[in-house]
Structure 1
């Protein structure tokens, strides 16, 4: 009788402690699309909300296998994949940085894409990547002479004839929308 009971019980499946399976659902996924799957525990450490979510499910997730239900990240797949690919590579420039910093994955990305990546980085608490992408965006904006284009990028109203540089203290004065 005891042997029959053991046969009907679910069996414990042994998994290697380094196993990681975290499906990520994105906003532009179509029904039937496979989610992005994170299989690297080290990547999880770089994404604050994801690490906390996995930690709530299993506090010892760094030592044990991770296999959780899909996690939603409300951004486009292209942006999420870019973040996953670059979050460990890019370092934020410092004031001591005097050389040209190379971020090759950003070369063909436009300012709107970079802005979306910065928003995603804020959402995922990837501060170092956020700083690196902000640096790239600032370098691109540095090369734009039309103040209207820059104001539009930041979402400000701008009168190109208005002087925004205060001659007394040298600071720029911007009227923020209320």
Structure 2
């Protein structure tokens, strides 16, 4: 948790590379995702499904293994956890990924989901009511762990980028799009 406040600002910035808005990339091509006991058992399908959206992408060598549920492993390379963001001075957003740098490679990523939102597995996304879909947020944050940034951080997004899971517009987006996959293929 010490990494939370220290690296939040670094994750929120990034530079474009080639045609996709990217931050750093995993140093190696295989990582195991550890899921802490704070993630409810009823979310397992959503979180697992979100992780698997990033596997098997044509021309991408990255493979995510797991997830390992209720993991108590100290300092895993890739972890998903739930915390109350105000306690750590984090922005009022549903999720955040810490660890990836703004360039180069990384060997560690922490995906945090904010307990200060109302979570569901039905696909409901409502900014006004603070309702968020587990899989939508998880697939987006895992995209950050893999080194993709918000498309609008690198300029005006086109229609394919707006439809991607990496573009935030408070709509249900549970599956990676061709644009997300092309970004991964160009990154790995």
Larger Rg: 1 or 2? 1
Structure with a larger share of its residues in strand:
2
Task: State TM-score, norm by structure 2.
Answer: 0.24
Greater RCO (CA < 8 Å, at least 6 residues apart): 2
Give the structure-1-normalised TM-score: 0.25
